[in-house]
Amino acid sequence: MADVRVVVRRRFSACPKGVIVEKVADDIAVRRQPSRQLRTPESVERVLAERVLPFIQHPFDRRAVAAASKQICAYVSGACADPRLAHHGVRVLVLVDTFACVTLLILPVPPRKRSSDDDDSVQFGTVVRTCPCL
């Protein structure tokens, strides 16, 4: 028997200084699968498509799991095909890390000098792009 657990961890920076916050977005377990049926990557891919991908809520995380599906299938099928492990049961943990970046950050406006003809208008923060990928 094989127990496959897929954990999607979402990492994102909390501030421009680089502090990384980690959150477990999804934790999906496929339990009590016959390990004989998971020995080929095609069968593992079918199980991923039927029992894992529909339960991942965020499309960003779903795309990350779909992009890593070939590596996941090779890893799980290799563990299930190992004759030393196949008869005693296999527990496979798959960790998928997704990275999100804060693209816009609202910074406060520095205080400015008031002139006599200036009315009391509201000052808004300036928008600064913090992600170099945009």
The verdict on residue 126 lying in a domain is no
Whether residue 78 lies inside any domain: the answer is: yes
Domain that holds residue 25: 2-101
Between the alpha carbon of residue 15 and those of residues 59, 61, 107, the distances in Å are 24, 22, 12
Answer yes or no: is 27 within a domain.
Answer: yes
Per-residue pLDDT at 117 exceeds 50 = yes
Report if residue 22 sits inside a domain: yes
- Does a structural domain hold residue 69? yes
Q: What is the pLDDT of residue 1?
A: 83
**Range 24-32 average pLDDT:** 86
Structural domains in the chain (count): 1
Q: Given this model, what pLDDT does residue 113 score?
A: 60
User: What is the model's pLDDT at position 109?
Assistant: 54
If pLDDT is split at 50, 70 and 90, which confidence band does 134 have? very low
Check: CB of residue 33 under 8 Å from CB of residue 42.
no
The SS3 of residue 65 is helix
Tell me phi and psi for residue 57, to 5 degrees.
-80, -45
Is 107 a domain residue? no
> Which pLDDT belongs to residue 18?
62
pLDDT band at residue 14 under the 50/70/90 scheme: low
Q: Give the model confidence (pLDDT) of 41-82 as tens digits.
A: 999 999 999 999 999 988 888 888 999 999 999 999 998 888
Q: Which of 54, 73, 72, 71 is nearest to 62 (CA)?
A: 54
Sign of the C-alpha dihedral computed for residues 32, 63, 65 and 20 taken in this order: negative
